[in-house]
Amino acid sequence: MRAADPAARTSRRPHGHRPPAFLTAPAVVVAVLALLPLAYLVVRAGEAGPARVVDVVLRERTAALVGRSVLLVALVTLLALGIGVGLAFLVARTDVPGRRLLGALAPLPLAVPSYVAAFAWISAVPEVAGLLGSVLVLTLCCYPYVYLPVLAALRRADPGVEEVARSLGRTPWQAFREVTLRQVRPAAAAGGLLVALYTLSDFGSVSILRYDVFTRVIHSAYRSSFDRTTAAVLALLLVLLTVAISVGENRVRRRDVPRVGAGVSRRPDPVALGAARAPLAAAGGLVVGLALAFPVASLLYWFTTGLSAGIDGDRLARSVVATAWLALLGALACALGAVPVGILAARYRGRFTTAVEQVTYAGHALPGIVVALSLVFLGIRVVPWAYQEVPLLVLAYVVLFLPTAVGAVRSSVGQSSVRGEEVARSLGATPGEVLRRVTLPLAAPGIGAGTALVLLTCMKELPATLLLHPTGTDTLATSLWTETGVGAYGAAAPYGLALVVLAVLPTIWLMRASDPDRGPSR
């Protein structure tokens, strides 16, 4: 490993000089924009004075909110870890019947927004409202965040270690518990962190299911009170809770020991499940059915029911166009902002670039309702001309989803060889020409994948879109929210169905792009 380190360092710093200004300047601007919501919340809460902040923090209801939010996060994360790891093991390591179909369907709940799933469940089974329904819906929507990285880790892991354990007398279950779980624990921890952060920041499903956690109460405080200090203070508490979860996951991950082994790239012999094959296949099918088939069936039922009352086709078409247009603008803005930051992170490592990259990740710790609330304050006080206009909503998308695009750009640039850039510079090309003709074309597939993922996420985003969408413009998410708010399930169903269909397209593209069996081996 030591012999490879100098080469690795060289690949990150190919040019041997300070990064060019045409990369650093836009990267700094992007970092400042990413910090705006958090900075403004701090200023807004500080204006109220320490006494008011302490009063809000020490309220009995605030303590109850913390407890309810932590309980929801803990239950959803634990269940998602169990389901995600279990499904990944069935698909990658066993002879369960129909595992190819199961592997193809298991990630698709990512295309079902949590608030759409919540609408589907509460419209069919009103009794699920509250904690039970919130845990059920969020677990079924979030387990793919664990399933996908664990499946990838299992496919990369050296099966020889498990085979040695089996040869030493370990049962399949013992080998799974003592060997396989240790190999995939870092991937599971990363997926669990995403589940926890998503659950803590979720607004739509808990609102539809009427379970009071931070996001729902923050929105109510913003809407119902002229003095919005309470909303700002609660938003900061939510950020602190998010940061605490991230720090805890980071400490757990540091205790994991990297896998040691030959890393042989070969398919392991599947574990024979014997009599358990049928029950486990049924269990996997049940999970996919509840997470995917049930919401779609519920939407179709209410869609056909609503046909008798008629469908506002013009409004539906306008909502589809607005959703696609705003999501596309957000994805392109994130891609443009991520390119300088990602290239700096991959090619010019140093304290400055590390700081800029970490600052852009601040949005990853900010729930959508927090970003929306801060940008509402910013729009009203600083740039009133932009309040409830397209630029402010696109800025919210950039703050929220920029880390996704930065990670894709950094990974893609880092995996491409620096030799082409060095040859271009030796032939007299300027740094700008090298970027345009060599670096960006090589990184284009990764940039495209990151942009598609941001596009998918922007389509599903609800709280920021709800508070910041341009006046007179409704997206599928806001239209669905409006109809469910008055219990018009039949009228809401077309918007939910259209949103799922729209979100499936980038989801399938991402699944195909990330499938190692579809591309050349590296």
90 with 227, same domain?
yes
Task: Return the axis-axis angle of helices 181-201 and 368-381, rounded to nearest 10°.
Answer: 40
The percentage of the chain sitting over the pLDDT mark of 90, rounded to a whole number, equals 12
- Are 82 and 32 within one domain? no
Same domain, 435 and 363: yes
For residues 68 and 217, membership in a common domain is answered with: yes
Same domain, yes or no: 104 and 239: yes
Q: Are residues 336 and 232 in the same domain?
A: no
Question: Do 36 and 87 reside in the same domain of the chain?
Answer: no
Query: What value does the mean pLDDT take over residues 339-353?
Result: 79
On whether residue 292 sits in a domain, the answer given is no
| Same domain? 29 vs 103 | no
Let me know whether 88 and 202 are in one domain: yes
Continuous segment of H or E residues that includes residue 339: helix 313-347
pLDDT in tens, 135-169: 999 999 999 888 988 887 777 766 666 656 666 66
* Both tokens assigned to 454: 């941001």
pLDDT in tens, 167-204: 666 666 666 666 667 777 777 887 888 888 888 888 88
Q: Do the domain assignments include residue 375? A: yes
Could you tell me if residue 4 is inside a domain? no
What separation in angstroms does the CA of 253 have from each of 185, 355, 492, 507? 8, 21, 42, 28
Q: Do residues 333 and 200 share a domain?
A: no
* Widest distance between CA atoms in the chain: 72
CA 37, 38, 39, 41 dihedral sign is positive
Residue with tokens 């990630």: 107
* pLDDT score of 154: 78
Cα 105 to its chain centre, rounded Å, is 19
Same domain, yes or no: 281 and 145: yes
State pTM to two decimals.
0.77
Q: Is residue 12 part of a domain?
A: no
321/225 same-domain check:
no
Handedness of CA 287, 289, 293, 299 (dihedral sign): negative
Q: How far apart are CA 197 and CA 365, in angstroms?
A: 8
For the chain, report the end-to-end CA distance as a whole number of angstroms. Answer: 20
In a domain, 259, yes or no: no
- CATH number at 74 reads 1.10.3720.10
Q: Is residue 103 part of a domain?
A: yes
At 8, the pLDDT band (50, 70, 90 cuts) reads very low
Three-state secondary structure call for residue 148? helix
Q: Cβ neighbours of residue 260 under 8 Å, at least 6 residues apart?
A: none
Residue 522 has pLDDT above 70, yes or no: no
> What integer pLDDT is reported at residue 182 of this predicted model?
73
Query: For the residues 256-272, what does the mean pLDDT come to?
Result: 55
pLDDT one-digit tens code per residue, 411-442: 777 666 666 666 666 666 666 667 667 777 77
How many angstroms separate the CA atoms of 216 and 449, rounded? 32
Asked if residues 355 and 17 have their Cβ atoms less than 8 Å apart, the reply is: no
Q: How many domains does the structure of the chain reveal?
A: 2
pLDDT category of residue 344 using cuts at 50, 70 and 90: confident
Domain presence at residue 470: yes
pLDDT exceeding 70 applies to what percent of the chain?
77
pLDDT at 81 over 90: yes
Give residue for tokens 């962190």: 193
Q: Which residues pair with 271 in a beta bridge?
A: 94
Containing domain of residue 491, as a range?
A: 18-40+309-522
